[in-house]
Structure formats: C-alpha cells, structure tokens
Amino acid sequence: MNNTKNYHFLLGGYDLEMAEIKTILKEHHQTYSDKHLAWGAALDDYEDILQLNPDNHFVGIELIIKNPSLIPVNYTEIDHHNEKAHLPSSIEQLAHLLGITLNYHQQLVAANDKGYIPTMKAIGASPNEIQHIRWLDRQAQGITPEMEEMALEAIQKGEEKNGVSVVFLPLNKYSPVVDRLNVEKLLVYSPKSLNYYGKYASQLAILFADDVAHQKAYYGGGSDGYFGFAAGVFSLDEIENYLIPKILQHVGDS
C-alpha cells in the first residue's frame, strides 16, 4: 500500500461494492466501523463512534448527512450518488485514497455499481461473469431464495403502462426483479418506496429535484441509470395515485 495515512472508515449501506470495500479495508489493515446498515445509511448512525474518537480522520462511505453538526473536523466523504454521480465508483475512490490498484473482480464490482450490466459489458465482461456479479450483489443485499420467488411472481403480475414495465413487489429490495427484466424502461414499487430504471432516469432527478435536495430521493448510473425514493417518504396511496402517474407522464411513450 502506497498511502500510509491512518484513517477510520465508516461503512454505508450494504451491496456487493460495500462488501468488497470491507474486504479491501481488512486486507490493507485499515481501521473501520461497520454497523451493517441498509440503503439510506447516514453519518448520524455513527454518532457514538464519532464522539468516542473525535481526533480520528474519518472517511464516510456512502453516508448521507442528516445533521451537519456531526461532521468531524477531519472528514473525507466517498460517494457517487446524486450530485456526486459524475465521480468514479466508491470502490475506485477508495483505491485512489489508499494508493492501490483494483484487481479484475473489483473492477467488475466497480462497473456493476457505476452502470450495472451495460458498464460491465463495456469493460469486456462475459455473460457468465455478469451473471455471477449480479448474483453476488443480490447475496450482499440480503436477497433470500424466498425473495427470488416473490420477484418471479411479481414479474408475472406486472403490466406495461405507457411503454413502461410496471411491477409491484411487496419488498424494498428490487434487484431480483431488475436482474430478470431486460427492458428499456422499468418501474418497480412496494408499499413503501419506488424505483425507476432505464431511459430518462436522470430527468426524473430534475423533475423531483426538491426531493433529491432533501435526501428523500436518489439517482445515479448515468443518464439512463436509476432514480428512486427513500423508503417511507410516500404512502402506497401517494405512490400509486401521484408518483406513478407523474413519472409515466414524463418518461412514458407519448
């Protein structure tokens, strides 16, 4: 490792990229705290760690900041979502910070997190490699066989509305649906949240800019990546009768 500076890393919500980041931190003997958080993890979740170690140089990885007063004097932020969507993936930012080179598997993990299957294809990943990475990602997210079955049932009941595939899934983990549907425009929602994937995704970030600014929504993956709302921001009634019609009107076929 070229960079010998001491950091204290704080891990954000779990997916394959975060799991691989943890592996890298272990291999390079870096200090880290991991509360096994889900999507929407915040710096606030580590308030006790921050208070116990005020002189440390903390590095928050994909942590939103709800309370700015908690930001340590020595703090580095690693993220590539929302206003940071133009930056390299978090694992690539970590490699740069530590002065290390990612191996091929880690490059696939980075590509998967930046731009999903199209970006993995762009760096030469084979169909088997892509399938394996997607399976590992679902595993890291905590997707169980029962959830996979629920996703299959949800897909069978899905509909096409205004040129958009719309699927209702009674889970807040959408990857088992997204991985199985190779469509240009996909909207998946649950009783608590909604995600849109594909063409015009970045335009939804503009349409719902106020929600993004207040950390109620997020986006990434480029212009045709993804856009979604944090769990619990809207009720199921609001999702079905306000959000979905508004999104379909904006991204659907005219």
What digits encode the pLDDT tens for the residues 15-66?
Answer: 999 999 999 999 999 999 999 998 889 999 999 999 999 999 999 999 999 9
Model pLDDT, residue 254: 59
8 A C-beta contact, residue 143 and residue 234: no
| pTM: predicted TM-score of the whole model, two decimal places | 0.84
Q: What percent of the chain has pLDDT over 90?
A: 86
Cβ count within 10 A of residue 160: 12
Confidence band of 253 (pLDDT split at 50, 70, 90)? confident
What digits encode the pLDDT tens for the residues 200-236?
Answer: 999 999 999 999 999 899 998 888 899 999 999 999 9
| Helix/strand/coil (H/E/C) assignment for every residue in the chain | CCCCCCCEEECCCCCHHHHHHHHHHHHCCCEEECCCCCCCCEHHHHHHHHHHCCCCCEEEECCECCCHHHCCCCEEEECCCHHHCCCCCHHHHHHHHHCCCCCHHHHHHHHHHHHHHHHHHHCCCCHHHHHHHHHHHHHHCCCCHHHHHHHHHHHHHCEEECCEEEEECCCCCCHHHHCCCCCCEEEEECCCCEEEEECCHHHHHHHCHHHHHCCCEEEECCCCCEEEECCCCCCHHHHHHHHHHHHHHHHCCC
Model pLDDT, residue 122: 95
What digits encode the pLDDT tens for the residues 88-118?
Answer: 999 999 999 999 999 999 999 999 999 889 9
Residue 163 pLDDT > 80: yes
Beta strand 58-61 with 75-78: parallel, antiparallel or unpaired? Answer: parallel
User: What's the mean pLDDT when you consider all of the chain?
Assistant: 94
